[in-house]
Amino acid sequence: MEQFEWTVSLDHASLRIDKFLTMDGKWSRTQVQLWIKDDHVKVNNQKVKSNYKVSEGDVITLDIPDVEELQVEAENIPLDVVYEDADVIVINKPRGMVVHPAPGHYSGTLVNALMYHCQDLSGINGVIRPGIVHRIDKDTSGLIMVAKNDQAHESLVDQLKAKTTRRLYKAIVHGIIPHQHGTVDAPIGRDKKDRQSMTVTEENSRDAVTHFTVLETFEKYTYVQCELETGRTHQIRVHMKYIGYPLAGDPKYGPKKKTLDIEGQALHAAVLGFSHPKTGEEMVFEAPLPKDMEQVLLQLRSQ
């Protein structure tokens, strides 16, 4: 483990700590923010957040963890590659596939498949999540972008933070939404009663905004398009439950009784748009609905 220490001078007082640590260009801001998040950075022996503003005399320490040997194995799993070049790869992920290894899912993930498909993935997110810029849930299908080098990774992360990416989802929800358009602006945080779930809360939460448009209504369901302005964990699932229209098939946030023939939430990442990290070209990709959602819509239209 490499260790570094600085004492803040008057000239650098009031700088954000993530900016302070990237002044000499040795490390990227994304990398520094990850170290701060993982408690590898301390100020006066105390944990801080990336927006902490340093003061004269502050003693900053950074412990850079040793590079771990890669324990994730490459697996020959077919991938639906929508686009690929030297910087980025866009995948249409099937329902049921976990994005990256985690307790209980060390194989069969998108990362395992990507490591077989291409060896050049960015290393910013470490050995478990190489190349992963954003995630979609296991039982959500659709488009996900992956960075093939650190420069591309930083660019895509910055676009997500600046809210300049385009992410449209198609979903089937319980109930009939009475208006054509709507916006849910409600902060999301960890549920105190169930640490595996997220909820709308003011406590230890982050801003979350979802825009939705009604595409089609049925007797007991509504087919909607949701656009993410932010990207919080389970955001669409939590927000639609919050306004009284939980996703059909959602085992965590929906009704316990299964009413439609679908495994997992009826949610599909249908459109993904971003600026190419190297050329700046505006790129937009679309993925058709998976067969199970198409079948559900056909059934609902025939009732």
Catalytic residue numbers read 137
In this structure, the chain runs to a length of 303
Task: Give the integer Cα–Cα distance in Å for 261 and 23.
Answer: 55
Question: DSSP secondary structure string, 221-260?
Answer: EEEEEEEESS--TTHHHHHHHHTT-PBTT-TTTS-SS--S
- One-letter amino acid for residue 43 of the chain: V
The overall longest dimension of the chain from CA atoms, in Å, is 72
Rounded Cα–Cα distance for residues 301 and 163 (Å): 35
Helices assigned H by DSSP within 87-177: 110-117, 150-161
Q: Angle formed by the axes of helices 29-37 and 150-161, to 10°? A: 70
Bridge-based pairing of strands 181-185 and 267-275 is: unpaired
